[in-house]
Structure formats: C-alpha cells, structure tokens
Amino acid sequence: MILHLAWKNIWRNPVRSLVVIAAVVVGVWAGVSISAFSNGMTMHYLNSQLDTYIGHVSLQTKTFNEERSAEFSLENVESLLEFYTNDSTVKTLTPITLANGMIASANYTSGIQIRGIDIATDTLVFKTYQYITKGKYLSDSFKNQIVVGEKLAEKLKSGLRSKVVLTFQRVDGTITSAAFRISGILKTPNSTLDQMRVFVNREDLQKYVGGENTTHELSFRLYDANYAKTFTANHSTLLASTDTLLNWFQIAPELAYVDSSLDLTLYIFMGIIVLALTLGILNTMLMAILERKRELGMLMAIGTSRPFLFKLIMSETLMLSCIGAPLGLFIAFLTVYFTSTYGINLSGFTEGLAMYGMGNVIYPDLKIDYIIGITSFIFIAAIIAAIYPAVKAIKLKPLEAIRQH
C-alpha cells in the first residue's frame, strides 16, 4: 500500500523527482570515480616503488642495516635461499650485493649506491628492467657492465658503451676502483633514486669487494604485498640472532604515509559529496512538502495516521535513491572501465608526480568495499535528508494546512 502510493506520488511532479534522482546519480558517480582514481594513484605509487627498488621484504644482518658497510654480509645464503623458496607465501627472492661508493666520468663525479644483482632472479622480484630507455639490461654474456639512470647519465655526459669508473670499499676496509661500461640507461618513475643507484652484475661486484659469497641482502617478492607485516612477524623468531627481517612498511614508512594521506583526501571528498547531496535532497523534499501541504492536511483530516505519512515520505525518498544509485553505479563503472583501460594522462603535472616517484599515466582501480561504502553513505545521506521534511510534514495541523494553501 505505502510503496504503491509512494511510487505514484514521486511521478506527480516528475521534474522534482528527476532532480533528486540526478543528485543521487552524480553523488554515486563522483564518489565511485574519485575513489577509483585515488586508489589507482595509490597503487601506482606503491607498485612503482616496490617493483623498482624496495621489494616486499628484505633480509639483512642487523649490523649492515645500521652501518651499511660491505664487511657485514649474510652467512649461509644458500640455506636461506632454499628455506624461503619453499615457503608458500614467497613468490620468489633474489640475493643482492651492495656497496656505497663513487661513480666518475671525465666530466662528473657523484656518490652512489652500487647494487650487484643476480640477473636470473632479480627480474622476478623487481621490474626495473622494464624501464630501460636505451641499450639493454644486464646479461651474463659480458663482464663489467653497468646500468645507470637517465639523469645520472646526463650529468656524467656519458652514453651507451661509455666507460665509467666505480670506487668503493672492499670487505677488508681498503678502497678499490674498477672500470665499467654502460650497457643500458633507464628511467623509472623515481628520477631522484635513478641518480643515486646503479646496477651491475653481482658476480662482478663480488669479485671487486673481495668475497665470492658476499651477499648483503635477500629481497623477497610475496604473493601479497599486504602480507609483509605478518610475514616478518612470523619469521623473525626463526632468524639467526645477527639477522633481521624488514617489511616494506619499515624500509620505506613514507609509502604508508602517502597511502594514508590519499585515503584522507578521499574521505574529505566523500564528505563534501555527501554533504552536498544531503542538502540537495533536503531542499527538494522541503519544497515537496510545501507544495503538498494542503494534500497532507486533508489526509490527516480524514484519518490518515501521522506514522503512515512519515513512512510515505521516507519511502518516496528511498525510491528515488534506489533509482538513482544503480544509474550512478552504471555510469561510474563505464567511466572507470574506460579510464582504467586507456589511463588518465596527467602529463601537465609531470614534475610534481616525479617528486613522488610516479609516472604521468594513472589507471583507476576500483575496490568492491569502496562501492559498498559509497553506496551505503549515499543511502544514509538520503535517509537523513528525508527525516526533517518528514517530521515537518507530520507536525502539520490539518485545518491550518488546508486553510493556508
């Protein structure tokens, strides 16, 4: 009875009803689209950092983590590799030899971190190789190859096949130098780190630091990056007293900060959208009550109960929301599908994005819990917006309402 009457009432003034429906459509569309864009930006930022430099989990000696000196390397590396390879939560891992030193050409000298990588497994943990713009990534075919960032190559005034000299500390504390030839130039989303790190074959670096088995870090790629905290908590008790496991939250806490900052921005936008939607529905429903004042007075005069009128007005608002929400979701899905396929080009903000290690193209990513949350907020906003007009309606005095109209 109430639903049938509510359905008839909302189409008595189609313009007013369409305004409410349009407000709900825009609210749902904007909420879902903004959340997808925000989540896409967050995931783009996190993945670009985890996939190029950080990894999900890192195993090091405690002393190396504190002092970053070449002499403090891991022991029993082969046993560790075998143990963690058999862990069901570990997708893959790679050994890394590290050294802090200098890179020099005839034109420029700079301090850098040298990463000696195992070519066979490094590409399974990191995606740095995908960012090669000139030349090629490292291979086992040639000795003393080096990959440098684009900005660093410009400062060195060196191109492909140019020779550079690396100077760094050996495990015995002495200083050594070696010549390397540039085989590849890369440009990752993080141009700052590109100027601070270079990549060489792990065997070459081990030879010069003075230890064939020198390994400073095991970097892990898990099946789920969000499992990193649990992984380190579960495995830390199994480590030797000299070793430590660090998850990416500990290695780069700024990543979690950016994640939370973007979430806060999303909540602020959603708050604005819900507030605007609430005020819009409130205003429209109040106008409806004023227009139907005489009608409502007559209904009460002939015996219609006030609770019935309250339910009727609330039902009308919910019906309009039930029409608008699916339409808004449909349009939002189309928007997200198109933008996630082709990306959103933000080349106008290149410098700002590069500061955060992000590329120019963002691909929105929609989460199901965001859809549920946003739709729920919209319905709650609609209900809250309808309560005041409904209360105002049932407080009408029948005779006054009939006479005043």
Asked if 103 and 156 count as a contact pair (C-beta separation under 8 A), the reply is yes
Whether pLDDT at 405 is above 60: no
Q: Which of 112-126, 156-170, 381-395 has the lowest mean pLDDT?
A: 381-395
Residue appearing with tokens 């440009």: 187
Q: Which of 209-223, 280-294, 332-346 has the lowest mean pLDDT?
A: 280-294
- Looking at residues 65-85, what average pLDDT do you find? 83
Asked if 42 and 344 count as a contact pair (C-beta separation under 8 A), the reply is no
- Looking at residues 89-109, what average pLDDT do you find? 93
Chain mean pLDDT for the chain: 84
Residue appearing with tokens 């691909």: 363
- The reported pLDDT for the residue numbered 232 is 92
Asked if 181 and 115 count as a contact pair (C-beta separation under 8 A), the reply is no
Residue 372 and residue 367: Cα distance in Å, rounded? 9
Asked if 31 and 378 count as a contact pair (C-beta separation under 8 A), the reply is yes
Cβ-in-10-Å burial (0-12, 13-18, 19+) of 376 comes to: exposed
| Helices 14-49 & 368-394 angle (0-180, nearest 10) | 150
Q: Using alpha carbons only, what angle is made at residue 245 by residues 240 and 248, rounded to the nearest 5 degrees? A: 175
Comparing C-alpha atoms, which of 313, 308, 296, 303 is closest to residue 397?
296
Ordered DSSP codes for 152-213: HHHHHT--TT-EEEEEEE-TTS-EEEEEEEEEEEE--S-HHHHTTEEEEEHHHHHHHHT-TT
> Hey, is 237 helix, strand or coil?
helix
Give the C-alpha distances (Å, rounded to integers) separating 136 from 127, 235, 399. 14, 37, 87
Look at 43 and 69; give whichever has higher pLDDT.
43
* Strands 175-186 and 145-149, bridge-based pairing: parallel
Look at 327 and 265; give whichever has higher pLDDT.
327
pLDDT tens track for 8-32: 777 777 888 888 888 888 888 888 8
Comparing C-alpha atoms, which of 111, 260, 139 is closest to residue 202?
139
- The reported pLDDT for the residue numbered 398 is 67
β-bridge mates for residue 60, sequence order: 244
Residue 326 and residue 332: Cα distance in Å, rounded? 10
β-bridge mates for residue 112, sequence order: 101
Confidence at 257, pLDDT banded by 50, 70, 90? confident
pLDDT tens track for 132-144: 999 999 988 888 9
Comparing C-alpha atoms, which of 332, 389, 330, 404 is closest to residue 366?
332
* Strands 132-135 and 57-61, bridge-based pairing: unpaired
Look at 345 and 106; give whichever has higher pLDDT.
106
pLDDT tens track for 264-323: 777 787 788 788 878 888 887 777 777 777 777 777 777 777 788 888 888 888 888 888
- Residue 169 Rama label (left phi>0; alpha psi -120 to 50; beta): beta
The CATH class, in words, for 73-215 is mainly beta
- Cα end-to-end span (Å), the chain: 27
Q: Using DSSP, how many helices (H) and how many strands (E) does the chain show?
A: 16, 12
- The reported pLDDT for the residue numbered 249 is 87
Whether pLDDT at 6 is above 80: no
Longest dimension (CA), the chain: 101
- The reported pLDDT for the residue numbered 204 is 92
**How large a percentage of the chain has pLDDT more than 70?**
95
pLDDT tens track for 189-202: 777 788 899 999 99
Whether pLDDT at 74 is above 90: no
- The reported pLDDT for the residue numbered 36 is 87
- The reported pLDDT for the residue numbered 173 is 81
> Can you point out the beta strands (E) in 42-149?
57-61, 90-104, 109-117, 132-135, 145-149
- The reported pLDDT for the residue numbered 365 is 84
- The reported pLDDT for the residue numbered 354 is 64
- Domain regions of the chain by residue span: 2-49+256-404, 73-215
pTM score: 0.73
Residue 163: which residues within 8 A CB-CB, separation 6 or more?
105, 179, 180, 181, 182
